[in-house]
Amino acid sequence: MSILVTGGAGYIGSHACVELLNAGYEVVVVDNLYNSKEESLSRVQKITGKSLKFYECDIRDAEGLEKVFTENKIECVIHFAGLKAVGESCKIPLEYYDNNIGGTVILCQVMAKMGVKKLVFSSSATVYGDSPIPYREDMHVGHCTNPYGRTKYMIEEILRDLYASDNEWSIALLRYFNPIGAHESGLIGEDPNGIPNNLLPYISQVAIGKLACLSVFGDDYNTPDGTGVRDYIHVTDLAIGHVKAVKYLESRTGIDAINLGAGRGYSVLELVKAFEKACGHEIAYKIAPRRPGDLDVSYADPQKAKDLLGFETQLDVDKMCEDTWRWQSNNPNGYDA
């Protein structure tokens, strides 16, 4: 029996493949390589000493997906495939609705047809909007400020409707906080296209000399040092959370939203300091205006993940920065030679 990982060549998906293989699962990856390279999967196999099966396929291609299900005994799907850039989603919203929502609907149709009803979905803390912190899963969600966030919220609702229509489904809506870091081997990590939008990839490219200076977006937030506070989670911890979710789905039917976060926040300047310690030199930064749509503080209440999955984060911010630095310095151009 195999786990199908959509988007498995991407940043989080490749780390999840490592942990699934380490836990003894057989892994089948479907990815259209829109935002990733097949090289990540070669590295996954190098890290684990185990092999996986790869199909270059778009999840909106129902026939292609059916072939994957026919050729493999899939017992559960982890669904990472999607577009994820907040700013881009405001410029090309239809692409986001088509890829993220259309893709998920087709995936679920094929799963239902093939009788596979266990699904782990990559949702996001963005569905909480500006709810009071810490974010708890029973809070009202859906106040998203951009099309990307709305696709996550809408997919959660679609999957709730699916479960309501057929109680044989077993679904986990994993709401990630801020995944950063890289596998400690330095072989796989985040490989953004162009200039990074997110904080850690930006800091690490300043550290390696590809970018001149970090812009800190706002120093007048209602936080101890005035800069934005986020709940950073090591991507390896996040990946282990997925293995635990797969195990959880084996034993029950139902649908649950579950936060995957550490339960505490770090400010932008605290992260800069931690990265300086990891790389051994100063990171040039300047204070810039706030970025529209950003919140002051976001962090999880991690209790439900502990209760249902037995999941708690293990790796701290120093380790997140050390591992990011190892990945960045060993692979200054990401997966490109």
Q: Which is nearer to ligand NAD, 43 or 84 (CB)?
A: 84
Torsional sign, CA 106, 107, 112, 114: positive
Binding ligand NAD (rule: CB under 6 A), the pick from 22, 23, 33, 139 is 33
Rounded to an integer, what distance in angstroms lies between the CA atom of residue 167 and that of residue 147?
29
Rounded to an integer, what distance in angstroms lies between the CA atom of residue 7 and that of residue 86?
18
For residue 32, report the phi and psi dihedrals to the nearest 5 degrees: -95, 5
In the complex, the smallest distance separating the C-beta of residue 308 from ligand NAD, rounded to whole angstroms, is 19
The residues annotated with a catalytic role in the active site are 148
Contact 147, 93 (CB under 8 A): yes
What number of other Cβ atoms are within 10 A of residue 282's Cβ?
12
| Binding flags for ligand NAD, 230-259, as an x/- string (CB under 6 A) | ------------------------------
| Binding flags for ligand NAD, 65-104, as an x/- string (CB under 6 A) | ---------------xxx-x--------------x---x-
In the complex, the smallest distance separating the C-beta of residue 296 from ligand NAD, rounded to whole angstroms, is 18
The structure tokens listed for 275 are 């990265």
Q: What is the residue type of 125?
A: A
DSSP state of 64: H
Binding ligand NAD (rule: CB under 6 A), the pick from 122, 204, 223, 313 is 122
In the complex, the smallest distance separating the C-beta of residue 226 from ligand UFG, rounded to whole angstroms, is 11
In the complex, the smallest distance separating the C-beta of residue 141 from ligand NAD, rounded to whole angstroms, is 14
Rounded to an integer, what distance in angstroms lies between the CA atom of residue 185 and that of residue 189?
10
For residue 79, report the phi and psi dihedrals to the nearest 5 degrees: -110, 95
Rounded to an integer, what distance in angstroms lies between the CA atom of residue 21 and that of residue 3?
10
Q: What is the residue type of 143?
A: H
Q: Which is nearer to ligand NAD, 2 or 123 (CB)?
A: 123
Q: Which is nearer to ligand NAD, 114 or 287 (CB)?
A: 114
* Closest residue to ligand NAD, based on beta-carbon distance: 10
Contact 211, 218 (CB under 8 A): no
- Tell me how long the chain is: 337
99 binds, among ligand UFG, ligand NAD, none (CB under 5 to 8 A by kind): ligand NAD
In the complex, the smallest distance separating the C-beta of residue 324 from ligand UFG, rounded to whole angstroms, is 12
The structure tokens listed for 296 are 């002051």
Q: Which is nearer to ligand NAD, 146 or 280 (CB)?
A: 146
Q: Which is nearer to ligand NAD, 82 or 186 (CB)?
A: 82
If one asks whether residue 146 binds ligand NAD (CB under 6 A), the answer comes out as no
Rounded to an integer, what distance in angstroms lies between the CA atom of residue 267 and that of residue 270?
5
Number of residues that bind ligand NAD (CB under 6 A): 27
Among the listed ranges 31-39, 156-164, 248-256, 278-286, the one in contact with ligand NAD (CB under 6 A) is 31-39
Integer CA distances (angstroms), 301 to 259, 265, 286, in order: 7, 11, 32
Q: What is the residue type of 104?
A: T
By CB under 6 A, name the binding residues for ligand UFG: 84, 86, 124-126, 149, 176-178, 197-199, 202, 214-217, 228, 230, 268, 291, 294
In the complex, the smallest distance separating the C-beta of residue 56 from ligand NAD, rounded to whole angstroms, is 9
205 alpha-carbon distance from chain centroid: 20
Among the listed ranges 25-33, 164-172, 211-219, 269-277, the one in contact with ligand NAD (CB under 6 A) is 25-33
In the complex, the smallest distance separating the C-beta of residue 46 from ligand UFG, rounded to whole angstroms, is 28
The site for ligand NAD (CB under 6 A) is made up of: 6-7, 9-13, 30-36, 58-60, 80-82, 84, 99, 103, 122, 124, 176, 179
